Amino acid sequence: MFEPLKPVPRDARIFLGAAFFVVFLAAWALATFGGLIDELFLKDPVYTLKIGIELFTEYGFLKDVGVTVWRVVGGFVLAAAVAVPLGILMGAFKPIEAFFEPFISFARYMPASAFIPLLILWAGVGEAQKLLVIFIGSVFQLVLMISVIVGSTRRDLVEAAYTLGADSGGIVRRVMLPGAAPQIAETLRLVLGWAWTYVIVAELVGSSSGIGHMIMDSQRLLDTGQMIFGIFCIGVIGLVSDLIFKWVNQRLYPWAF
C-alpha cells in the first residue's frame, strides 16, 4: 500500500481528500458541542454556518468579498505585468540579471506588511495602498522565480535551435519562452496564493470594506463564528482560484503534464 510514488486511483484520491475535511469538521464539532472549548473562544460549526449565511443575506458580505477579490487580482496583475517581462529578460540576458538581481534579492526580504504604515502615509487608506501592499509583496518574488526558470532553459535545446538557424531573438521567443511558460504559470499560481495573505493584512489596518475588515469588526463584537467564517471564505476562494489556474495551465500546456 505504501509503495513510493505509486499512484492512487482517482476515486480513492477524492475519497481520501474529502475524508480529511470530515475528520476536521468532526473534531471541531466534538470540541465545541462536547464543551471542551468555551464558546467565547470558538463557536460551533452549525452556528458558524448560520451566521455566515446571515452575513451574506443581511450584512452585504458579498460586497466585501468582491472588494477583496478585486484588490488581490488588481495588485497581482500589476505585479505580474512588471515581473514577467523583467524576469524573462533577466533569465535570458546575463548583464540585465547582474544589474537587477542583487537589489531584488535584497528587496524581497523586506516584509510587505511592514510597509503598511508607510504606504498609508504615502497613499492614504484607499485602494491604491491595498494594491501597493500586494504589488510589493509579490513582484520581487515573481521576478526572481521567473528569472531562475528562464535561466535554466536546457542548453542543448538552445544549441539545437542555433543549428537550425535561430538568432538571439528567436532563441528567446521560440525556445526560452515556450519552454518556460508552464513553470511561469505555476509560479504565478503559487504567488497568487501568497497575495491572499497580504490583502488580509492590508485590510486589517485602516480599511472600511473587505473580508479583512469584516474579521476586524467581528473581533470587536467577540463573534468568533463570523471571524472563522471569514477565514474559511478566503480558504475557499483561494482553493477555487487555484483549481481554475491549474485547469487552465493543463489546457494551455498539454505537453508539460
Partner 1 sequence: MGFLSVEAVSKEFPGVRGSAVTRALETTDLTVEDNDFITILGPSGCGKSTLLRIIAGLETLGTGRVLLDGAPVARPGPDRGMVFQSYTLFPWLTVRDNIRFGSRASDAKADELIGKVGLRGFENHFPKMLSGGMQQRTALARALANDPKILLLDEPFGALDNQTRALMQELLLGIWEADKKTVLFVTHDIDEAIFMANRVAVMSARPGRIKATLAIDLPHPRHYTMKTTPEFSRYKAEITEQIRVESIRAIEMEAA
- Cα-atom radius of gyration of the chain, to the nearest Å? 23
Based on the shown chain and the rule CB under 8 A, indicate whether residue 160 belongs to the binding site for partner 1.
Answer: yes
- Report the alpha-carbon distance of residue 150 to residue 175 in Å, rounded: 10
Q: Looking at residue 209, what DSSP letter applies?
A: S
| 121 conformational bin, left if phi > 0, alpha if psi -120 to 50, beta if neither | alpha
- Residue 185 CB, shortest distance to partner 1, in Å, is 13
Is 81 a binding residue for partner 1 by CB under 8 A? The answer is no
Specify the stretch interacting with partner 1 by CB under 8 A; choose among 136-144, 176-184, 188-196, 212-220: 176-184
**Residue at 25: amino acid letter:** L
Is residue 163 near partner 1 by the rule CB under 8 A? Answer: yes
Q: Which residues of 179-193 are buried (b: 16+ CB within 10 A; e: fewer)?
A: bbbbbbbbbbbebbe
How many residues does the structure list for the chain? 257
DSSP state of 210: S
Choose between 132 and 176: whose C-beta lies nearer to partner 1. 176
> 61 vs 11, 18, 73, 245, CA distance in Å?
35, 27, 18, 25
Quick one: which of 178, 208, 232, 235 contacts partner 1 (CB under 8 A)?
178
Cell of 87: 524576469
Residue 179 as a binder of partner 1 (CB under 8 A): the answer is yes
Binding of partner 1 by 168 (CB under 8 A): no
User: Which residues lie closer than 8 Å to 49 by C-beta, 6 or more apart?
Assistant: 229
Q: Would you count residue 20 as binding partner 1 (CB under 8 A)?
A: no
Only one of the segments 6-14, 93-101, 164-172, 215-223 lies at the binding site for partner 1 (rule: CB under 8 A); that segment is 164-172
User: Which residue, 93 or 253, has its beta carbon nearer to partner 1?
Assistant: 253
Residue 175 binds to partner 1 (criterion: CB under 8 A): yes
| 166 near partner 1, judged by CB under 8 A | yes
- Candidate list 121, 165, 220, 221; residue touching partner 1; CB under 8 A: 165
DSSP 257: -
Nearer to partner 1 by Cβ, of 183 and 241: the residue is 183
Rounded to a whole number of angstroms, the minimum distance from the CB of residue 181 to partner 1 is: 8
Which residues sit at the interface with partner 1, rule CB under 8 A? 156-157, 159-166, 170, 174-175, 178-179, 181, 253-256
